Chains A and B, each alone.
Chain A
């Protein structure tokens, strides 16, 4: 059973968002990291890039798969998790903590309402 913290919002493509004031911290869910297996590489966006919600923002790679990461909300990338360059396994080991991917300064926090709650996300996984 994978962990799905109740205080986060989710996208159906398995990204999560944690809101810290007007900043959205983005990562991938425990379920997603488990399905991917050991990550060997994470490609992150550059700081300063501006995304619309749903834009391709990065890639996570395991030995046998690669999966696109989409920006869950619109806004400018203000930080990326540089530790992942050497330790992509952080995403496997602590997907909701040290394994975060990047932070977006939200242009429209209303978009969060469009995202799935923990319960809704759980339902989606169950139906897969």
Chain B
């Protein structure tokens, strides 16, 4: 019996202790006609680890290797071997949420270190212990801003069109049930940026918050200082959506404008978490100290034990569902602990300089790639704004067709902007430190052939 250790003698001894004749007797409180009968006939027979491993290895093999320049919110980075070797140690991998603090000091200290790393990267005062991912994290931040902005009575939040459309749609799906309205802010189609000018129609109106994405979906860098100051001048909170790698070299949201952002969220995946088909990743979430009681999710605090020794424990639990129930800040319970653990190890290995050079290479490679691709006839940058590690390009032909033909050559040459932005000929390409000069040339060569 896979993973069930009992011998027939064990089973007999247990039944005897219970005073039952058979295992079936233990289900005698269940109305008989509800019980099985169906026999689960459609299910396959069980197989051993060897057979299932082989099946899955063949499946994994089927997902053909390709040279990928896809980004759009998930990025390929080098992950030091130590990261997952340690994260998947049984002591981290098979522990539950650290409710019994004395028996969970390992996990608790890791979270405290993680909270510190995130606070320092984002320039904020406090961080929680992760939410599901960047997109759902934005939804949590939007809901949080409604609670935290005491001056506003609005259930509306300004969201730039240049935000990752996948964030927008997940956020919408989550917050719309509570009558929260996400109001679109257009971007400048020349620069590929959200300009303060385009905010003037919203001046004098009551919105709880303005979302600022740095970089935005097109990779463009926004004038975050001006946007932040505009929002604060108009009584709104600022929700920053950022890429954590970029924060090694870009101004942290805590220093945007005069007062800094109020809440910061983003996708933590670039910090040591594999692409893994979309998850598990983790959403990071940080805020100013004055808003901490409005933050969702677990938070760890440092304290002392009864002998005065340092220790770590869950704190501010009255915000959470297990205590506050219908009045909790969120329904989140299980979070993304293991991915967060991996990120803590990753950031510790790279340090401030290592992370800055990863960020630098991402930027430099993307610039180089854009130059190589733009050297092809008819290929141009779609926007004029400076970028971090992703760039929108216009092609002389239909983007979807070109991308499909590149895929036939096992090159995933970017994401089409046709569906989300009606930019039929535009693609979004990303490069990171994993690409060599040869990789970039291969892509350029292939694109040239496809366009010829």
Contacts and interface: CB of A to CB of B under 8 A. Distances in A.
Interface of A: 41, 43, 46, 59, 61-66, 68
Contacts of A65: 318, 323
B357 interface: no
Interface in B184-239: none
B317 interface: yes
16 contacts: A41-B293, A41-B318, A43-B293, A46-B150, A59-B318, A61-B318, A62-B318, A63-B317, A63-B318, A64-B317, A64-B323, A65-B318, A65-B323, A66-B323, A66-B327, A68-B327
A66 B324 contact: yes
A65 B322 CA distance: 9
Interface string B114-157: 00000000000000000000000000000000000010000000
A63 B99 CA distance: 13
A64 to B, nearest CB: 7
A46 to B, nearest CB: 8
Contacts of A46: 150
Closest A-B pairs by Cβ, 9 of them: A66-B318, A61-B318, A66-B324, A66-B323, A65-B323, A64-B323, A63-B317, A65-B318, A41-B318
B148 to A, nearest CB: 13
Interface of B: 150, 293, 317-318, 323-324, 327
A43 B329 CA distance: 15
The B interface, classified by DSSP as helix, strand, loop or mixed, is: helix
A67 to B, nearest CB: 9
A128 B171 CA distance: 44
Interface centre among A41, A61, A64 (most CB of B within 10 A): A61
Contacts of B317: 63-64
Nearest to B150: A46
Contacts of B324: 66
Nearest to A43: B293
Nearest to A65: B323
A43 B327 CA distance: 14
Nearest to B313: A63
A63 B323 CA distance: 10
Nearest to A60: B318
Nearest to A46: B150
Nearest to B322: A64
A10 B124 CA distance: 44
A61 B317 CA distance: 9
A66 B327 CA distance: 10
Contacts of A43: 293
A43 B150 CA distance: 13
A20 B324 CA distance: 34
A3 B323 CA distance: 27
Contacts of A68: 327
A61 B318 CA distance: 7
A2 B237 CA distance: 45
A66 B324 CA distance: 7
A43 B317 CA distance: 15
A47 to B, nearest CB: 13
B392 to A, nearest CB: 46
